[in-house]
């Protein structure tokens, strides 16, 4: 859990989550060109008035937890549905940019594997 490799992955993932989470509030990264279906989907999330803010807040929280090593195993579990949905979004609506989604999912899986000891009690009956 404390290897240099794990630490680097944890910090990279945490920083990425903080940057993209803050972007949902401030909008300092210009949105890339995406297919019309993906644009419609993102616009519908934006139109709710809360979904992107909740998602951005969760991304910032998870990123901070990863960087400051607070409840890392819990943070990684919180990230699973978010990273899975990012992957599905790109798989079905924006295939050309799927690499970023795959990187997030792969790093999340590797870190869950590295922190597997923390999850073992969940599987004891």
pLDDT tens figures, 45-102: 999 999 999 999 999 999 999 999 999 999 999 999 999 999 999 999 999 999 999 9
**Domain count for the chain:** 1
Query: How much of the chain exceeds pLDDT 90, in percent?
Result: 90
Q: What is the mean pLDDT of residues 112-124?
A: 92
Is 13 within 8 Å of 112 (Cβ atoms)? no
Q: What is the mean pLDDT of residues 26-32?
A: 90
Which domain does 16 fall in, by range?
4-123
**pLDDT, position 32:** 86
Which residues are CB-neighbours of 93 under 8 A, at least 6 positions away? 34, 35, 37, 38, 41
**pLDDT, position 31:** 85
Q: What angle do CA 72, 15, 8 make, to 5 degrees?
A: 65
Confidence check: pLDDT of 2 > 80: no
The C-alpha R_g of the chain, in whole angstroms, comes to 15
pLDDT tier for residue 125 given thresholds of 50, 70 and 90 = confident
Confidence check: pLDDT of 1 > 70: no
Average pLDDT over the chain reads 94
**pLDDT, position 23:** 96
Is 102 within 8 Å of 4 (Cβ atoms)? no
């Amino acid at each position: 859990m404390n290897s240099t490799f794990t630490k680097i992955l944890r910090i990279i993932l945490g920083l990425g989550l903080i940057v993209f989470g803050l972007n949902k509030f401030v909008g300092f990264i210009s949105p890339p060109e995406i297919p019309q279906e993906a644009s419609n989907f993102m616009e519908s999330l934006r139109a709710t008035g809360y979904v992107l803010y909740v998602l951005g807040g969760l991304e910032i929280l998870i990123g901070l937890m990863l960087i400051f090593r607070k409840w890392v195993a819990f943070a990684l579990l919180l990230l699973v549905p978010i990273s899975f949905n990012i992957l599905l979004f790109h798989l079905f609506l924006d295939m050309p940019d799927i690499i970023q989604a795959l990187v997030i999912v792969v790093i999340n899986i590797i870190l869950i594997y590295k922190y597997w000891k923390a999850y073992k009690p969940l599987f004891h009956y």
